[in-house]
Amino acid sequence: MVSTLSETFGFSKALATVVALLIVAICFFAVVWFVRSAPPSVLTISSGRPGSTYLRYAYQYRKILADHGVELRVLPSAGSQENLHRLQSAQSGVDIGFVQGGIAAGENLDDLVSLGSIAYQPMLIFYRSLTPMNRLSELAEKRIAVGAKGSGTRALALTLLQANGITGPPATLLDLDADTAAATLLQGNVAAIFLMGDSASAQTLRTLIRAPNIQLYHFPQADAYIRKFTYLNKMELPEGSIDLGKDLPAHDMALIGPTVELVARKDLNAAMSDLLIEVAQEVHGNASIIQKRGEFPAPLEHEFKISDDALRYYKSGKGFMYRAVGSFWLASLINRILVAFLPVVLVLIPAIRFFPSAYKWRVRLRFYHCYRRLIRIEREAFGELTGEKRQDLLQRLDELEEAVNKLKVPASFADQFYALRGYIMFVRGRLNNPATAAKTG
């Protein structure tokens, strides 16, 4: 390549080497980017406890991703807080996880981004009583199961109780998992339990909603809660929405709760980000008793910054190639080829075509400059010459010849180079032959 550049463009060896290295470097970085930008074939998700809504979501994701040739490894967890801590640790190997809104205050989130909120997460408070409870402060002297350590349930339960002045004795706060808490409530050993989807199974919730003397707490102060805690949302559980025949619940119920966010590490591949949001739309896009069809996933930003890739997807949808090609991996391959190598081709080919033309024009300008000097000398040689003028013209011709001999031109201009030297010799012959010069004049 160095020899070709030198012979074609007349570059010095050093300049030709630099240009060759630059071309090789551009091609090398294009190849490196192409390889490094390939989507991973395996992802790891931190989900929730066995039987929880989060774990059910994860298995749905795994099934759909498998259809696209991506393996999703599902790691059960204690809930949102453990999911967050796993995502914060690069050594955990976790790529994505479900994290409940409101639990990340004061945490270092620099390496994490949100792919969007995927669902409402209502706080369900079941309590044993024959009459409705109107305020959470009524639990001030009771035994309360607030959720297992590491769960988002526990974090939000403590926040709500503290807002009602309950932080400890005379109340007894028990760190029980959902199944244990439900069994304890049914046995009458606790007055109330806090449950959420990151820890409670659908079966546990169905059992409690139908149990005698067990009631689901209605939040009469829901509007006040969501104004005090901005990450919370107000939801309505319509009368009969759980069981029309038994009219469960017996009246419309106000609930509160955060949204669940699909959180990823900041270095998540852009194509994989698009695919995950597409999967989230399939899993969470349908209507339910507390959400409208198409309401989720949504780019609702709370503690976590919505990733740039996610914002692009929510704004424009999938890229053209992923819409046009059925296979995720084939579309990714074509897209990466276009992104990595098309700019190189678009830059190098015009450069390869432009630089020879520009260089040839530059070389021609040098020749034209020499020819102009030679023409002036020849014109001044017309007619009768004195000895002094002849010597002056010969000196100027020597200087021109010396300048021509120092020209660095590629081999492709050899004919013009030697032709110019021949014309210089011709003019020199005329100057050295006075009779010829006088006859010509």
What confidence category does residue 379 fall into, taking pLDDT thresholds of 50, 70 and 90?
A: confident
What confidence category does residue 323 fall into, taking pLDDT thresholds of 50, 70 and 90?
A: low
DSSP per-residue codes, 373-398: HHHHHHHHTSS---HHHHHHHHHHHH
pLDDT digit string, tens, across residues 257-277: 999 999 999 988 888 888 999
Q: How many helices (H) and strands (E) does the chain have?
A: 15, 12
Pair of tokens at residue 51: 């039987």
**What confidence score (pLDDT) does residue 7 get?**
60
**What confidence score (pLDDT) does residue 408 get?**
76
**What confidence score (pLDDT) does residue 380 get?**
82
- Domains of the chain from N-terminus onward: 122-257 (3.40.190.10), 337-440 (no CATH)
Predicted TM-score (pTM) above 0.85? no
- Residues pairing with 144 in the sheet: 173, 192
**What confidence score (pLDDT) does residue 297 get?**
92
Q: Is the pLDDT of residue 356 over 80?
A: no
Q: Which of 321-335, 343-357, 386-400 has the highest mean pLDDT?
A: 386-400
Interval 128-156 mean pLDDT? 90
**What confidence score (pLDDT) does residue 345 get?**
67
Interval 230-251 mean pLDDT? 88
Interval 370-383 mean pLDDT? 84
pLDDT digit string, tens, across residues 6-58: 665 555 677 677 777 777 777 777 777 666 666 788 999 999 888 788 899 99
Q: How far is CA 262 from CA 42, 115, 175, 259, in A?
A: 17, 5, 26, 10
- Residues pairing with 383 in the sheet: none
Per DSSP bridges, beta strands 233-237 and 42-46 are unpaired
pLDDT digit string, tens, across residues 89-111: 989 999 999 998 888 877 889 89
Q: Is the pLDDT of residue 312 over 60?
A: yes
- Residues pairing with 100 in the sheet: 260
Q: Is the pLDDT of residue 246 over 90?
A: no
Interval 157-174 mean pLDDT? 92
Q: How many CB atoms lie within 10 A of CB 222?
A: 18
Rounded CA separation 354/412 (Å): 17
Q: Which of 164, 110, 92, 105 is nearest to 133 (CA)?
A: 164
User: What is the percent of the chain with per-residue pLDDT over 90, rounded to a whole number?
Assistant: 34
Q: Is the pLDDT of residue 326 over 70?
A: no
Q: Which of 165, 122, 112 is nearest to 140 (CA)?
A: 165
What confidence category does residue 71 fall into, taking pLDDT thresholds of 50, 70 and 90?
A: very high
Ranges assigned E (strand) in 102-178: 112-120, 124-128, 143-145, 172-174
What confidence category does residue 64 fall into, taking pLDDT thresholds of 50, 70 and 90?
A: very high
- Residues pairing with 233 in the sheet: 257
Q: Which of 156-165, 411-420, 429-438 has the highest mean pLDDT?
A: 156-165
Let me know: does 437 contact 430? Beta carbons within 8 Å. Answer: yes
Q: CA 387: distance to chain centroid?
A: 82
Q: Is the pLDDT of residue 421 over 70?
A: yes
Rounded CA separation 121/57 (Å): 13
**What confidence score (pLDDT) does residue 334 get?**
66
Pair of tokens at residue 266: 């900041």
Q: Which of 255, 265, 262 is nearest to 300 (CA)?
A: 262
Rounded CA separation 323/311 (Å): 18
Let me know: does 87 contact 268? Beta carbons within 8 Å. Answer: no
**What confidence score (pLDDT) does residue 15 get?**
65
Q: CA 124: distance to chain centroid?
A: 35
